Amino acid sequence: MAPLSISKGSSSPSPTRGESYVQMADTDLESIGRHCQFEYCGQLDFLPFRCESCKSTFCLDHRSETAHKCPHAGEWARRRNGTNQQENRPPPEKPTIYNSDQCAHVSCKTLINTLKDPGVRCPNCNRQYCLKHRLREEHDCAKLTPLGARQGPSPNETIKSMFSRMRTWGKEKQAATSNLIPKPKVKPNSPAARLASVNQMKRTAKGDAGVPVEKRIYLHTVGTADTQAAEPPAGDFYFDMRWKVGRVLDDAARRLKVENLNNRVGGEEARLRIFHVESGDFLEFSQTIGEGKLKNGDTIVLLRGAGLVLEKS
């Protein structure tokens, strides 16, 4: 038979606020002489405690949920707070790129409209940005076409206009290279003229400093324009010959500050593609830039909506 003991707990029968157990009233004859129901204890206690979660009776030493390893731990607290129904609800889904908005800045990946990062809508371009890029100067607002504004020319017209400007630019470039060749003068399209143009490009081209010199390919890069009146940005850059066309496109768009929506939209009307002027071909995203027809000194153009023309052709 288990030894008799008398608990030295509080003699007050009223429950203590914030605790999961209640001392059973000594006026209740049925509660006098209860055995502790914790396994391996069974001690007879004349002032037992009732657990408000599992409704079992315990001695002074095992009255708490932790001490008797309560199988319904926390139930009394949930009943008190009225959160029983909320317990079964799945936790809120963590914001990702698929269920939350993303900052509209071309080089920012911050998820916005969350508790941590609220989104700020620019009243001029009608796009949403994170707190870092909310100011007009931070996201080059003057160069963006406002969302919902009157649409410019169709993608086909924009591409035709871009091709026309490229042809004009190509003629001007050929004429300019003649001034770089030392006397005796040679034809603008000769190998010597091209070599002089490439050497000049290597002195001024910009790119990732981490690319080894022997792995660099130097290209004149022209951005896209959203309207016929806009003059497309351009520059001389070098890229890693081992890069895929998709990575070259991302790097060129970032340096020319051209809005790149390729990873955010599914329609071809807003996607960028790379056009190789010398071969007259569009480059596939999975193609390695140094394994195709491109050579140092060639020209590539970022064209938006060109995929619509390719689908119809």
Looking at 4.10.1110.10, 2.60.40.10, 3.40.190.10, 3.90.870.30, the CATH number of the domain 29-80 comes to: 4.10.1110.10
Q: Which pLDDT score, from 0 to 100, does residue 286 have?
A: 85
CA dist list (Å): 57 to 18, 21, 89? 19, 9, 31
Question: What number is the average pLDDT over the span 278-304?
Answer: 86
Q: Over 60: is that where the pLDDT of 218 sits?
A: yes
- Per domain, the residue ranges of the chain are 29-80, 94-148, 192-311
pLDDT tier, 48 (very low <50, low <70, confident <90, very high otherwise):
confident
Intrachain domains 29-80 and 94-148 with the same fold: yes
State whether residue 281 is helix, strand or coil.
strand
Helix 191-204 vs helix 155-177: crossing angle, to nearest 10: 110
Facing residues of 218 across strands?
Answer: 238
3-state secondary structure of 65: coil
User: Please, where are the H alpha helices in the chain?
Assistant: 75-81, 84-87, 155-177, 191-204, 245-256, 306-312
Q: Kindly report, residue by residue over 59-97, the tens digit of the pLDDT.
A: 888 888 888 888 888 888 888 887 555 555 666 556 555
Domain 94-148 adopts which CATH fold?
Zf-an1 domain (4.10.1110)
**Which amino acid is located at 106 in the chain?**
V
* Per-residue pLDDT reduced to its tens digit, 161-188: 666 666 666 566 555 544 443 444 445 5
CATH code linked to domain 192-311: 3.10.20.270
In the chain, % of residues over pLDDT 90? 6
The predicted structure's pLDDT at residue 8:
41
